[in-house]
Amino acid sequence: MADLSRLGHGPFLVIGRAGMDLYADPPGTRTEEATRFSASLGGSSANIAVALTRQGCRAALMTCVSDDAVGRFCLNQLDHYGIDRAHVRRVGGEARNSLAVVETRLENCQSVIYRNGAADFEMTVADVEAVDYAAFSALITTGTVLAAEPSRGAAFRAFDLARAAGLPLIFDIDYRPYSWPSAQVASQVCSRAAALCDVIVGNDVEFGFMAGDYARGLDCARDLARTTAQIVVYKRGENGAVTLTASSEFASGIYATEALKPTGAGDSFLGAFVAGLSRGLPLPDCVRRGSAAAAMVVARVGCAPAMPTEAELAAFLATHPGPSF
């Protein structure tokens, strides 16, 4: 197992997609009735990198973007948030960046994702072998990276190289069915990835699909904590989370909030949670910080621009009662 104390010793390397999010504007507008949209950086991995930098950490993104205006938008946004993009490669041809058309609505929120010929799936073994892993404190990836080749093989090669350099591996399961050929393939591949990782975060549905039985999701999380992972966070939506290690297990609740939308919570949770780990905070405090950050993001417009800063998160924690069950 990797030494988790390394998390505080350098920047994080995040693998996965950066995309453009288009939000129907003003908030509350249905997409089919919208006449204008606001644009922001999106994509789970890019959002996680933003969440980390907003919490005072350094982060680099490794991915591919399309060599067009949308790809350049993503590059400009990465620069805006202070994310190192030395390992972001532009790809031409028919590859296109991920695009999400989303609503700022809590009820019946529509999210239309365009992932045909996704540029981020063009990441290759050569891309990941060009990285000096010793310069980073940990490798973070999401399940979306593993949904297609050549990105899948490249990600597993990155796992091997990161592990050889002593980096902890952090995995956000992030199961998006529309990216995979089948649930069975997704279950097999994500289970393989989870068995290699030190920190695993996912929700009850994601652990359930890996287990092959949604009723056995928590059992799957417990098995991972008992055998290969050092920390597993099993999220249960409004019912909070169960956090597991080889020697302990505890439940935690959520922070009440006036939510505007359901999107962005998972990325924000992971960023604030990992930032807490990097500071050596007790595990319950890290989970609390992740839960608070998630509550803040769903109460704001957008995903990347909604990620709280260190100061904002501290103020929230100081003025809100402990999370409820």
pLDDT tens digits, one per residue of 231-286: 999 999 999 999 999 999 999 999 989 999 999 999 999 999 999 999 999 999 99
The domain of 202 spans 4-17+42-64+124-319
Secondary element (H or E) of residue 258 = none
Tell me, yes or no, whether 152 lies in a domain. yes
Query: What's the mean pLDDT when you consider all of the chain?
Result: 96
pLDDT tens digits, one per residue of 106-163: 999 999 999 989 999 999 999 999 999 999 999 999 999 999 999 999 999 999 999 9
What confidence category does residue 59 fall into, taking pLDDT thresholds of 50, 70 and 90?
Answer: very high
Tell me, yes or no, whether 195 lies in a domain. yes
Closest to 4 (Cα-Cα) out of 170, 226, 201, 227: 170
pLDDT tens digits, one per residue of 38-52: 999 999 999 999 999
Number of domains in the chain: 1
pLDDT of residue 62: 98
pLDDT of residue 93: 94
Question: What distance in Å separates the CA atoms of residue 5 and residue 279, rounded to the nearest whole number?
Answer: 9
Q: What is the mean pLDDT of residues 189-203?
A: 98
Tell me, yes or no, whether 35 lies in a domain. no
Tell me, yes or no, whether 36 lies in a domain. no
Tell me, yes or no, whether 69 lies in a domain. no
Tell me, yes or no, whether 75 lies in a domain. no
Tell me, yes or no, whether 275 lies in a domain. yes
pLDDT of residue 324: 67
Tell me, yes or no, whether 51 lies in a domain. yes
CA 126 vs CA 122, 123, 165: distances in Å = 11, 8, 17
Place of tokens 């909070």: 240
Residue 115: CB atoms within 10 Å: 21
What confidence category does residue 323 fall into, taking pLDDT thresholds of 50, 70 and 90?
Answer: confident
Concatenate the DSSP letters of all residues of 55-83 into one string.
Answer: TT--EEEEEEEESSHHHHHHHHHHHHTT-
Q: Assess whether pLDDT exceeds 70 at residue 325.
A: no
Q: What is the pTM of this model?
A: 0.97
What confidence category does residue 7 fall into, taking pLDDT thresholds of 50, 70 and 90?
Answer: very high
The answer to whether 17 touches 43, Cβ cutoff 8 Å, is yes
| Burial readout 2-15 (b: 16 or more C-beta within 10 A, e: otherwise) | bebebbeebbbbbb
Q: Domain containing 139 — which CATH number? A: 3.40.1190.20
pLDDT tens digits, one per residue of 68-98: 999 999 999 999 999 999 999 999 999 999 9
pLDDT of residue 125: 98
